[in-house]
């Protein structure tokens, strides 16, 4: 692991209810292999080259999440479920001034590894980027790869550089055949993030503020954007009982 002379902060989003899980638990407390999904991630983050502890954004049944995790962590509260961008906005007061760069991760993607997070950070610092994201490539959307069908597709220019992300709902059938996908694992230069986060708009069908919209701002404004291709398995998440069952199989090596 490369020694960094930068202050790297981690914001872990864990405010969701998880309606499609058919459970009253906060989504991040739904167990994977007998352990809450978010606990898998926190255990991984202890081996990451970043400032400890991470900031955890809580919302639905916030006290239950805090009780499960303990007082070791910094917490921010999202009282309304208004999207990933809005969740990071709630963490700004806790994070501002503490870090040079901010990694944003998700409490329902429990297969992420320390090596992927460290590569995200090291790529970001090495490239002196304003925004860095991991992408993943899959051979198809069959079998356990079906978990990536709903991910945004990565569009690159003729030079191989990132051009844009097309969300599934906006993609043509031809674009949906693209097998490079966006897990939304980001690292931001902190000053850039706080400057542009407030510019997010909620003019979409869900009336939510999407963190992924910052990528479009970065590309359009000429900000420095870096990418790397990471292990697809580490990007799998769970939004339903079916996806959780798939995660269980992958976790046990049955894919």
What does the alpha-carbon distance between residue 153 and residue 164 come to, in Å, rounded to a whole number? Answer: 9
What does the alpha-carbon distance between residue 115 and residue 45 come to, in Å, rounded to a whole number? Answer: 10
Sign of CA dihedral 140, 146, 147, 152: positive
Residue 72: CA count within 13 A, CB half-sphere: 11
Tell me how far the alpha carbon of residue 225 is from its chain's centroid: 16
Tell me the H-state helices in 35-104: 37-45, 62-69, 84-95
- What are the distances in angstroms from CA 73 to CA 118, 131, 176? 20, 25, 39
Q: Give the phi and the psi of residue 232 in degrees, each rounded to 5.
A: -60, -35
State the helix-helix crossing angle for 190-197 and 84-95, rounded to 10 degrees: 120
- Known catalytic residue: 252? no
Catalytic residue (one of 7, 19, 20, 96):
20
**Which residues are marked as active site?**
20
């Amino acid at each position: 692991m490369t020694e960094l002379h930068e202050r790297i902060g981690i914001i872990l989003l864990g405010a969701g209810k998880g309606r499609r899980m058919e459970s009253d638990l906060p989504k991040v407390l739904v167990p994977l292999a007998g352990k809450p999904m978010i606990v898998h991630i926190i255990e991984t983050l202890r081996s990451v080259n970043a400032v400890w502890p991470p900031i955890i954004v809580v919302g639905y049944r916030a006290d239950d999440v805090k009780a499960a995790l303990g007082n070791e962590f910094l917490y921010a509260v999202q009282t309304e479920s208004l999207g990933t961008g809005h969740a990071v906005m709630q963490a700004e007061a806790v994070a501002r001034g503490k870090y040079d760069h901010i990694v944003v991760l998700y409490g329902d993607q429990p297969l992420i590894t320390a090596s992927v997070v460290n590569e995200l950070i090291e790529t970001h610092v090495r490239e002196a980027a304003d925004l860095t994201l991991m992408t993943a490539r899959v051979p198809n959307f069959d079998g356990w790869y079906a978990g990536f069908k709903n991910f945004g597709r990565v569009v690159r220019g003729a030079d191989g550089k990132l051009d844009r992300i097309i969300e599934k709902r906006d993609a043509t059938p031809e674009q949906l055949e693209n097998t490079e996908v966006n897990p939304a694992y980001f690292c931001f230069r902190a000053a850039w993030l706080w400057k542009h986060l407030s510019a997010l708009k909620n003019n979409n069908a869900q009336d939510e503020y999407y963190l992924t919209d910052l990528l479009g701002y970065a590309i359009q404004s000429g900000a420095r954007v870096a990418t790397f291709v990471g292990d697809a398995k580490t990007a799998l998440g769970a939004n339903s009982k079916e996806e959780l069952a798939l995660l269980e199989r992958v976790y046990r090596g049955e894919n």
